[in-house]
Structure formats: C-alpha cells, structure tokens
Chains A and B, each alone.
Chain A
Amino acid sequence: MTTETTKSVYWQGVRDGAPFILVIVPFSLLFGVVATEAGLNVFETLTFSVLALGGAAQFTALQLLTDGAPTVIALISALAVNLRMAMYSASLTPWLGEARLGQRALAAYFTVDQSYACAIVKFEQNPGWDIPRRLSYFFGVVTPICPLWYMFTLVGALVGTAIPAGLALDFALPITFLAMIGPMLRTPAHLAAAFVSVTCALVFAVLPYNLGLLVAGLAGMMTGARIEVLLERRKDAART
C-alpha cells in the first residue's frame, strides 16, 4: 500500500522487531556472562558485541578460544557461522540495492537474523513500497533489537557470574531459531530445504571448522530451488 507514510512504516518495523526483545535480552546477557567467565574484561566483551553483532558467531569464537583452538581456526569458524549474512545480503539486494551507498552500508551492518527475517517477509507482502519505506521499515525493526543487544551484553559483563545455571540460558538460541523457522515453512519447497539442511548438518557434523553448516546451507538452498522448479512445472502441466 503506497498510502503508508515512511513514519508509519518505521513504527510498523519497531512493532515487528519488539517481540525479539524477549530473545535479545537473555541472549546478549548470556554472552556478557560467558565472556566474563572466559576472562574477558568489560571493554573487550562490549567491543565484541558491537563489531561482530552476531550472537551465534560470537559464541562460536569465544567457545573455540576458551578451548585453546588456534586463533585462525576460531576466526574462520565464527565467520563460517556468519556466512549466512552474505546470503541475507544477496537476498536483500533486489529490495535495497538502489539505496544510497551510505544507507546500504548502514543496512549491511544491521543485517542480522531478525532484521532480515522481518524485512524479507514484509517486502514480499508489500512489493509497492519504495526504497525510503523499505529502509524505514528495516531500521524500525533494528531499533528495539541492536541497542538492547549492546546494552545487555554490558549488563551481562557487569553482573558476570551472578546468573544461576538453573535458568538454562544455553537453550535460548535454539528455541529462538526454531520459533523463527516454524512460520518460515510455508511451501513444500521450504519444508524440503529445511529437511535436507537438518539431515546434512547431522551427517556432516564430523567435518571440522563448522564446514558441515556450509554444506547443509548449500544443499538446503539447492533443494528448495529445485523443488520450486519441479512444482511450477507440474502446475504448468496441470493447466495445459
């Protein structure tokens, strides 16, 4: 709908991003706590969150460093976990590619699982939105998420080991991601992609450096694309 103002679209983004607060707060708090336990000081912990801005990658890097893995392995593994950001970047390009370079750089920095997931759904629902509306929505989603990510990393680093283990915060990430995946499984192609991804991730878990995840991601994407083509062909055949 082109009648929506960029301001109302921004607030729509804020509303869609707000539920993720429930996820971002415990998750960033956990990172702060775990990093402090690993011996990082408050400045190091906060810089980690501001520069990397990716929970799973941050945890991966920290875990490997704590285990005494070589620096280069810790770095490559964490980047592999963040490789999906390149795929998100490519996926957002048809929608935001015509924005100014500075805006694209800012949107790139704020491309996280949540902002990508919200934006791609909304952009597909509203193909008539222009670039300013798309950017407003995107930064709207980011508004309740990223500042809290920094803030609660800091809180976690400050409260440190005062969090009881019984809270089982380790499972905040899997539950969050699973809750995101459920609504994404809209078509047989999406289901097949997810199924192949899960299978490959388990089979190739033996591969070092998180390479199993890359195999799973590529195999899942190829499966989804293939099934989409097959289903379209069958639909065309049924029509003629």
Chain B
Amino acid sequence: MSIDTVDLWIVIIGLGLGSFALRFVFLGLVGNRPLPAWVLRHLRYTAVAVLPGLVVPLVVWPAATEGSVDAPRMAAALVTLAAGYFLRNMIVAIVLGALTLYGGLAFLG
C-alpha cells in the first residue's frame, strides 16, 4: 500500500527531532557534571546489552524469509560472531560472514 504523505513527514521530522533529543539529552544537558559510579558502571554495558538484543530477532526470524528460520542466514550469523570474538577483527568477521551467507544461499537456497 502507498504511504500517506502527511504521515510520512510526521514520521521523518518526528524521528529526526526525537533522535537528536535522545543523542543530546546527556551530552548536551548534563555536560561536565560528574555522573555517579553506578550510572557509569551500567553505561559500560550499553552497547553490549542493546546490540545483541537488536540483532537476534533479525537472525532468528529474518524478514527476507517472512520470519522463518533460514539456515544460510543462521550459519552466517554464527560465523560472523565467532570470527569477531576470536579474531577481534570486525572486517575479517564481516567478510567471513558474507562468504558464509553467499555460499549457503548458493548451495542451500
């Protein structure tokens, strides 16, 4: 279905302003006031707590296969994660993951 132009612009502008507000809230408004130790301790785990949660549904229920588990995508995800963890090199991990995905799609898909 086609998207209503007004709805689209509400979302574009709202997402733009909202995203900036989220990015600015601490850096801009809190500034150089020191943060308590317990806040800092939680913040150390932000990325490692949010990104896996963001990725895992995309791996387990990929949109491209309408949400059913897909062997090439699952294999590519596991290879990428393992390569990133053991080799500590993001680019090598991406290349190995992409090769696994294309190899898997060629042989299985």
Residues of A within 8 A of B (CB): 19, 22-23, 38-40, 44, 47-48, 50-54, 56-58, 61, 63, 65-66, 68, 71, 74-75, 78-79, 81-94, 96-98, 101, 104-105, 107-109, 111, 113, 116-117, 120, 166, 168, 170-171, 173-185, 189-190, 193-194, 196-198, 200-202, 205, 212-213, 216-225, 228-229
Contact = CB atoms under 8 A, between A and B. Distances in A.
Contacts of B20: 108-109
B69 interface: no
Interface string B46-76: 1111111111111111111000000001001
Interface residues of B, number: 79
B23 A89 contact: yes
Given A171-B76, A202-B57, A93 B10 contact: no
Contacts of A189: 45
B28 A52 contact: no
Q: Which of B24, B39, B102 has the most CB of A within 10 A?
A: B24
A90 B43 contact: yes
A89 B3 CA distance: 32
A180 to B, nearest CB: 6
A90 B33 CA distance: 11
Contact of A220 (B24, B32, B49, B61): B49
Q: Main SS of chain A's interface residues?
A: helix
B23 A109 contact: yes
Given A87-B50, A213-B50, A179 B97 contact: yes
B50 to A, nearest CB: 4
A94 B24 contact: no
12 contacts: A74-B11, A84-B46, A93-B30, A97-B30, A105-B28, A111-B27, A170-B64, A178-B80, A179-B97, A196-B49, A217-B53, A229-B41
A171 B70 CA distance: 11
- The interface centre, meaning the residue of B32, B55, B60 with most chain A CB atoms within 10 A of its CB, is B55
A-B pairs, top 3 by smallest CB distance, nearest first, are A182-B84, A220-B49, A51-B16
A192 to B, nearest CB: 9
Nearest to A202: B56
A75 B58 contact: no
Given A66-B3, A168-B64, A213-B50, A22 B91 contact: yes
